[in-house]
Structure 1
Amino acid sequence: MIRITDLRHKLLDIPDLSLVARHIAVIGPNGSGKTTLLSVCAGLEEPKRGRVQILGKPPSAAKIGWVGEFPDRTLLFSRVYDEIASTPRFRHYPCTRADELVRAAAEAVGIVHLLDKKVSALSGGEKALVGLAAAVVDNPEVLILDEADSHLDAGTAKRVHRIVRESPAAHVLWCTQSMDAAAEADFILFMDGGRVRHHGTPDEVFSALEGTCFYPTIWRLRS
Structure 2
Amino acid sequence: MIRITDLRHRLLDIPDLTLSTRHIAVIGPNGGGKTTLLSVCSGIEEPEAGSVRLLGRPPSAVKVGWVGEFPDRTLLFSRVYDEIASSLRFRHRPCPETDRTVRAVAEVGGIPRLLGKKVSALSGGEKALVALAAACVDDPEVLVLDEADSHLDAGTAERVSRVVQESKAAHILWCTQSMDTAATADYVLFMENGRVRHRGTPDEVFSALEETCFYPTMWRVCR
TM value normalised by structure 1? 0.98
* Cα RMSD (Å): 0.7
Which contiguous aligned blocks of 4+ residues in structure 1 show a shift greater than 3 angstroms? Answer: none
Shift of residue 95, structure 1, vs aligned partner: 1.4
Deviations 1:171-211 (A, max 9, x none): 11000000000000000000000000000000000000011
**Aligned-partner Cα distance in 2 for 1:53–1:101:** 29
- The residue type equivalent to 1:45 in the other structure is E
How far off is 1:104 after superposition? 1.1
* SS of structure 2 residue aligned to 1:218: helix
**Counterpart residue identity of residue 112, structure 1:** P
**Residue in 1 that maps onto 2:65:** 65
**Equivalence for 2:173:** 173
SS of aligned partner of 1:8 = strand
Matches within 5 A, 1:51-200: 51-200=51-200
Q: Deviations over 1:64-92 (max 9, x none)?
A: 11100000000000000000011001111
Structure 2 residue aligned with 1:206: 206
The one-letter code matched in structure 2 to 1:98 is T
**Percent of residue pairs bearing the same amino acid type:** 77
Q: Secondary structure at the match of 1:53?
A: strand
User: Which is worse superposed, 176-185 or 102-111?
Assistant: 102-111
Distance in 1 between residues matched to 2:108 and 2:161, nearest whole Å: 12
Question: Which runs of 5 or more structure 1 residues have no equivalent in the other structure?
Answer: none
Separation in 1 of the partners of 2:164 and 2:19? 18
The Cα shift of 1:158 comes to 1.1
Partner Cα separation in structure 2 for residue 39 and residue 158 of structure 1: 25
Please list, as runs of the form range in 1=range in 2, the aligned pairs for 1:12-31 lying within 5 A after superposition: 12-31=12-31
**Aligned counterpart, 1:222:** 222
- Taking structure 2 as the reference length, what is the TM-score of the superposition? 0.98
Name the amino acid aligned to 1:19.
L
Instruction: For residue 47 of structure 1, report the CA deviation from its aligned partner.
Output: 0.6
d(CA) in 1 for partners of 2:152 and 2:42? 23
Structure 2, unpaired ranges of 5+: none
Q: What is the one-letter code of the residue matched to 2:114?
A: L
